[in-house]
């Protein structure tokens, strides 16, 4: 199958491109990516030189660029997004533009081209905070920050394209991913970066917020399970069943790096911080998927990966420096 992967030079995208090349005989991949601060050709490694991979630099909000990139493709995996909650709080415009308008452009081009299978990657954040509950796919979308609201809009638009136009859209709502190549604005790689430099780790609020940690390899298997075996028009949660308070994850990072817990520094909370994410996963389990990566082993290996790829970590961090200086200055 010939796939278009939007956002293929970002964290999940570059892992997915490698996964497709290694696990799907006959697959070829066209990547459409704007190469924002979060994306880099370096993330592709050897895949960038693979004859089965074609890279197009372009913006998903550019209708003509999207149409051209999609021509000749059979499947689309739509990952491109402004993916960081804090940045969306600092300024919501980029998230609204890319996540909502950009998704509309990608859906519209898919309709024109007659795409056979369209995977829209949404997020568990569209349900809002899971206080005392685990959401199934029929729970209302009650997003609470600009990032998740823009993703909820995109999720709803994707469903509308199935209902209105019959575009065979499948929607996934994954939990918090971790693993190699995650951009160091997200908790795990950011705290590895800071701990390696013996800098304070800025823990929001009391650090007891709960996230469900999904290894990116498990996520890649789940995306293909849904793309290949899911029902068009349906949404599928991708939980990991690895719910941990942030402090547990942070202590593991420090332990793996041999750094002291005195680096933990409590700072002003993220506005509207969702205290917990939690989802049920029966629909995806019925497609034969279950998470395989053990949380502790997977998290330790990821921490080591960042520590062993210091050049990558520092170059990636440097691309986002202006934001970090402003966001963390008064925290
Ligand atoms: P990322 O920020 O690491 O990568 C995003 C990629 O999209 C980058 O390569 C960037 O250059 C590209 N991009 C951004 N704006 C673009 C535009 N206008 N046009 C073309 N390309 C553009 O993100 P990620 O963590 O890999 O997330 C991928 C997708 O998965 C997103 O849709 C995100 O909402 C979703 N998701 C992520 C997680 C997670 O924990 N990382 C969990 C659930 C869902
Ligand atoms: O749940 C899926 C979502 O997971 C995805 O849709 C998003 O794209 C992805 O960024 C992620 O969102 P989170 O907000 O959960 O991830 P983040 O790594 O930013 O934060 C994880 C937790 O760590 C959260 O409770 C906030 C906390 N945190 C984060 C940072 C960056 C801190 O305490 N301090 C920090 O400096």
Domain(s) labelled CATH 3.40.50.720 in the chain stretch across 2-178+213-238
Rg (CA), the chain: 19
Cβ 32 vs Cβ 3: under 8 Å: no
The whole model's pTM is what?
0.99
pLDDT category, 12, cuts 50, 70, 90? very high
> Looking at ligand 2, which atom is closest to the CA of residue 328?
36
Residue 5 predicted with pLDDT over 90: yes
Q: Determine whether 325 is an active site residue.
A: no
Q: Average pLDDT for residues 226-253, to the nearest whole number?
A: 98
pLDDT value, residue 143: 98
pLDDT value, residue 100: 98
Residue 230 predicted with pLDDT over 90: yes
pLDDT value, residue 80: 99
- 67 CA from centroid of ligand 2 (Å): 33
- 10 CA from centroid of ligand 1 (Å): 6
What residues line ligand 1, using a CB cutoff of 6 Å? 7, 9-13, 33-36, 38-39, 59-61, 79-83, 98, 102, 121, 123, 151, 174, 176-177, 183
Cβ 194 vs Cβ 317: under 8 Å: no
Domain(s) labelled CATH 3.90.25.10 in the chain stretch across 187-211+243-274+294-323
User: Whole-number mean pLDDT of the chain?
Assistant: 98
Q: Average pLDDT for residues 50-59, to the nearest whole number?
A: 98
Token pair of 171, please?
Answer: 């929607």
Token pair of 255, please?
Answer: 């332990």
- 218 CA from centroid of ligand 2 (Å): 19
Nearest-ligand number for the alpha carbon of 148: 2
Give per-residue pLDDT as tens, 212-222: 999 999 999 99
Cβ 123 vs Cβ 173: under 8 Å: yes
Exposed/middle/buried for 308, CB within 10 Å: 0-12, 13-18, 19+? Answer: exposed
The sign of the CA dihedral 227, 220, 277, 78 is negative
Q: Determine whether 124 is an active site residue.
A: yes
Domain 2-178+213-238 CATH assignment equals 3.40.50.720: yes
Exposed/middle/buried for 287, CB within 10 Å: 0-12, 13-18, 19+? Answer: middle
pLDDT value, residue 82: 99
Catalytic residue among 125, 155, 185, 212: 125
pLDDT category, 330, cuts 50, 70, 90? confident
Nearest-ligand number for the alpha carbon of 191: 2
Distance in angstroms (rounded) separating the CA atoms of residues 184 and 53: 26
- 106 CA from centroid of ligand 1 (Å): 14
Give per-residue pLDDT as tens, 186-207: 999 999 999 999 999 999 999 9
pLDDT category, 95, cuts 50, 70, 90? very high
Q: Average pLDDT for residues 126-144, to the nearest whole number?
A: 98
pLDDT category, 331, cuts 50, 70, 90? confident
- What is the CATH class of 187-211+243-274+294-323? alpha beta
Give per-residue pLDDT as tens, 20-39: 999 999 999 999 999 999 99
Q: Average pLDDT for residues 93-102, to the nearest whole number?
A: 98
Of all residues in the chain, what percent carry a pLDDT higher than 90?
A: 99
Catalytic residue among 124, 155, 243, 274: 124
Compute CA distances 208 → 133, 175, 275, 276, 301, whole Å: 17, 17, 8, 9, 23
């Amino acid at each position: 199958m010939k796939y278009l992967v939007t956002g293929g030079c970002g964290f999940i995208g570059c892992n997915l491109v490698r996964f497709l090349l290694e696990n799907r005989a006959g697959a070829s991949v066209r990547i459409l990516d704007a190469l924002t601060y979060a994306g880099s050709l370096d993330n592709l490694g050897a895949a960038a030189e693979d004859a089965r991979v074609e890279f197009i630099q372009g913006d998903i909000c550019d209708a003509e660029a999207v149409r051209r990139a999609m021509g000749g493709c059979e499947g689309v995996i739509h990952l491109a997004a402004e993916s960081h909650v804090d940045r969306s709080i600092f300024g919501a415009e980029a998230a609204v533009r890319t996540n909502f308008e950009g998704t509309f452009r990608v859906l519209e081009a898919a309709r024109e081209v007659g795409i056979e299978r369209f995977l829209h990657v949404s997020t568990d954040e569209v349900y809002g905070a899971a206080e005392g509950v685990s959401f199934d796919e029929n729970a209302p979308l009650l997003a609470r920050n600009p990032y998740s609201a823009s993703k909820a809009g995109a999720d709803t638009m994707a469903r509308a394209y199935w209902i209105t136009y019959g575009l065979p859209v499948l929607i996934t709502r994954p939990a918090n991913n971790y693993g190699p190549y995650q951009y160091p604005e997200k908790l795990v790689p950011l705290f590895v970066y800071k701990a390696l430099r013996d800098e304070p780790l800025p823990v929001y609020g009391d650090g007891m917020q709960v996230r469900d940690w999904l290894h990116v390899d498990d996520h890649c298997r789940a995306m293909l399970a849904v793309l290949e075996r899911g029902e068009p028009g349906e949404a599928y949660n991708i939980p990991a069943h690895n719910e941990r308070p942030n402090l547990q994850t942070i202590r593991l990072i420090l332990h793996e790096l041999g750094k002291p817990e005195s680096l933990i520094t409590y700072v002003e909370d993220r506005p509207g911080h969702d205290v917990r994410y939690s989802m049920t996963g029966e629909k995806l389990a019925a497609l034969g998927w279950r998470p395989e990566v053990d949380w502790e082993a997977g998290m330790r290996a990821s921490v080591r990966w960042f520590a062993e790829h210091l050049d990558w970590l520092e170059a990636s961090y440097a691309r986002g420096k202006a934001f970090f200086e402003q966001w963390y200055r008064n925290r």
